[in-house]
Homo-oligomer: A and B are copies of this chain.
Amino acid sequence: MADGRRLRVLVVDDHDVVHWGFRLLLTQQPWVERCVSARTGAEALELAQRFEPHVAVVDLFVGDESGTEICSAIRSGCPGTRVLLISGSGRISATAARAAGAAGFVSKDLAGADVARAVRSIGTGVDVFAPTESGPASRLSPREREVLDLIATGATNREIGATLHLSPYTVKEHASSVYRKLDVRNRAEAVREAQRLGLLA
């Protein structure tokens, strides 16, 4: 794709510090043509269409909005733009990122040079899914994550079952699996641990 061409990059994040950080990081790169930032999904979409960036760096949580949704919106509204999802402290499943149409996923925890390299790789057509899933977080199955999400809202097993169209027995089963995998004893601790691991918004 982009070979001898310099890249345009769009940064989507609700924190100004992140904007400045990326701007400082990226404008120093000789292969970056320009770097613009959006603070909301709507702004991101608008900028993407007007600006046609090669790469959109999208935070997993942009205010109240979901990074994966913004990713999907950019993908459909501006097909030429490839999306790199970045996470604050937590992790996301590579499959979920792919499902949203992302071309890559990395953690903000990575050193600057690594993030920059990831942006460049995305821009040149190479997919990047950095944090090879390893922690206890990754061992949670999709179903278990769904259940965990609902547990964090204070829902009972019965309510979760109704929501997910499952028997309360099954919900309890998934909940117990989550407790085992996260090494916690109950819902309260599971929520705390999930927050710590960045599994919840």
Q: Let me know if B17 and A153 touch, CB within 8 A.
A: no
Distance between Cα atoms of A7 and B149 in the complex (Å) = 44
Who on chain B is nearest to A107 by CB? B15
B24 near A20: Cβ-Cβ < 8 Å: yes
The listed residue (B88, B111, B152) touching A192 by CB distance below 8 A is: B152
Whether A151 and B20, one on each chain, are in contact in the complex, defined by CB atoms closer than 8 angstroms, is: no
Nearest-CB residue, chain B, relative to A24: B20
Which residues of chain B come closer than 8 Å to A167, judged between CB atoms? none
Q: Are B16 and A17 in contact (CB under 8 A)?
A: no
| Residues of A69-116 contacting chain B, CB below 8 A | 88-89, 108-112, 115
Given known pairs A24-B24, A61-B89, A200-B192, the reply for A16 and B111 (CB within 8 Å) is yes
| Contact of A188 with B154 in the complex, beta carbons under 8 Å | yes
Q: Mark A168-194, 1 if CB is under 8 A from B, else 0.
A: 000000000000000011111111100
A108: B residues at CB distance < 8 A: 15-17
Which residue of A14, A88, A191 has the most chain B CB atoms within 10 A of its CB atom?
A: A191
Most-contacted residue by chain B among A24, A111, A186, A188 (CB, 10 A): A188
Question: A4 near B: Cβ within 8 Å?
Answer: no
User: Considering the complex, which residues of chain A in the window 5-45 have a beta carbon less than 8 Å from any beta carbon of chain B?
Assistant: 14-25
Distance in angstroms between the alpha carbons of A61 and B196 in the assembled complex: 10
Residues of B within 8 A of A188 (CB): 151-154, 187-188, 190-191
Residues of A with Cβ closer than 8 Å to B?
A: 14-25, 61, 88-89, 108-112, 115, 151-154, 184-192, 195, 200
User: Can you name 29 A-B pairs with beta carbons within 8 Å?
Assistant: A16-B110, A16-B111, A16-B112, A16-B115, A17-B17, A17-B18, A17-B108, A17-B115, A18-B21, A20-B23, A20-B25, A21-B24, A23-B24, A24-B24, A61-B89, A88-B88, A151-B188, A152-B189, A153-B188, A153-B192, A154-B184, A154-B192, A187-B187, A187-B188, A189-B191, A191-B195, A192-B195, A192-B200, A195-B195
